[in-house]
Amino acid sequence: MRGQLIEVPPGTGDEPDLGHHGDVEATPGLVDLAVNVRRDPMPDWLADPLTASLGGLAAYPDPGPARAAVAARHGRPPEEVLLTAGAAEGFVLLARALAGVRRPVVVHPQFTEPEAALRAAGHEVERVLLDPADDFRLDPARVPADADLVMIGNPTNPTSVLHPAADLAALARPGRVLVVDEAFADTTLAPGVAGEPESLAGRRDLPGLVVVRSLTKTWGLAGLRIGYLLGEAALLDRLAAVQPLWAVSTPALAAATACASPTAVAAERAIAARLAVDRDHLVARLSALPGVRVAARPASAFVLLHLAGANRVRETLRERGWAVRRGDTFPGLGPDWLRVAVRDPATSDAFTEVLAEILEA
Ligand SMILES: Cc1ncc(COP(=O)(O)O)c(C=O)c1O
């Protein structure tokens, strides 16, 4: 079985806590493997315009230049870009503007905010649960044909699975909004592919497609709140209509412009290449531990682990100074899963040594 469709009425008793996020696990003093935001120093090409933008804070923000820059990056007209206060705002706009959808479906395990936003806006959400035994592979046929809103992540948090673009494209059809959360697309890499493999950001031929992008992860801007949506102009107009005025601040717009430049895109590719090496190192270390299984073929800035009693192991890791992300708040996972951020090899070595000691005890 490749996937499973279950109906989950809102407010069911033993539901995972969709509002849980890794940042609450990364308390001060712990080594943070729970949050997937890069913490490297900000490059000058980003820091300089950000700092300069502070001189213009008396004026209301003008999204025009940032919108044009992001559009140029993705080969789209500016009308096909909507800047948002992080990807998270994008999910809320979608949930509110698409009040009329009858059968919204969320493909899990994935980031929980898309479903949380839908529920908060009063939608009854159905879930398609991808199967760990099948490496969380997407079979487009599992999504009900009459679903008029489908939300999926690529690469997916927390599984780190990168679905083939063709499988996602197969979900698009007239009468359906297909939302692909590409918050981590810039972390992916494939041999012989110059850009982001499997990204739909530049696809203008797929009806109802909305691609969600975040600039908060790779560029360490979680506190600034900046992201954007890409899609058909008429659909984005509906989303813009429910967005608060001036939702994206002037410094956030400056960051969006800088991060759309060729310099930024080249830097992202270099970061993704380094990340792939560091991820291979971490996966090799983890795979050598008895009882630990790395899920699927990780493609992003984190890996998902299966180990019996992971929740207890997580508590012990905390006592030993390490924060990892619990898996049991993601629909489709449970108490035997953990998500671990990819860090430099020395940190990964230290982490896996502590984990090995805990598992041996
Ligand atoms: C898959 C995914 N999408 C979107 C977001 C939200 O990103 P932003 O900070 O841009 O709101 C997150 C944050 O953790 C995420 O993991």
What tokens were used for 236?
A: 């984005």
Write out pLDDT tens, residues 307-341.
Answer: 999 999 999 999 999 999 999 999 999 999 999 99
Mean pLDDT of the chain: 95
Closest-lying ligand 1 atom to the alpha carbon of residue 181: 3
Q: What is the largest CA-CA distance in the chain?
A: 60
Closest-lying ligand 1 atom to the alpha carbon of residue 37: 14
Whole-number Å distance between alpha carbons of 142 and 135:
15
Write out pLDDT tens, residues 154-203.
Answer: 999 999 999 999 999 999 999 999 999 999 999 999 999 999 999 999 99
Which of 20, 216, 224 most suits a substitution to test ligand 1, by most atoms within 8 Å of the C-beta?
216
Q: Which helix (H) or strand (E) holds 4?
A: strand 3-7
114 alpha carbon, distance to own chain's centre = 10
Closest-lying ligand 1 atom to the alpha carbon of residue 91: 4
109, burial (CB in 10 Å: exposed 0-12, middle 13-18, buried 19+): buried
Write out pLDDT tens, residues 91-120.
Answer: 999 999 999 999 999 999 999 999 999 999
Helix axes 113-120, 86-97, angle to 10 degrees: 40
Contact call for residues 330 and 107 (beta carbons, < 8 A): no
Which of 35, 214, 221, 229 most suits a substitution to test ligand 1, by most atoms within 8 Å of the C-beta?
214
138 alpha carbon, distance to own chain's centre = 17
Distances (CA, A) of 336 to 20, 168, 304, 327: 17, 28, 11, 7
Which contacts qualify for 171-175: CB closer than 8 Å, 24 or more apart?
171/140, 171/143, 172/206, 172/207, 172/208, 172/209, 173/207, 173/208, 174/207, 174/208, 175/148, 175/208
Q: Print burial letters for 231-254: b (CB count within 10 Å at least 16), e (below 16).
A: bbeebbeebbeebeeebbbbbbbb
Three-state DSSP at 228 gives strand
In the prediction, which pLDDT does 7 show? Answer: 42
Contact call for residues 159 and 36 (beta carbons, < 8 A): no
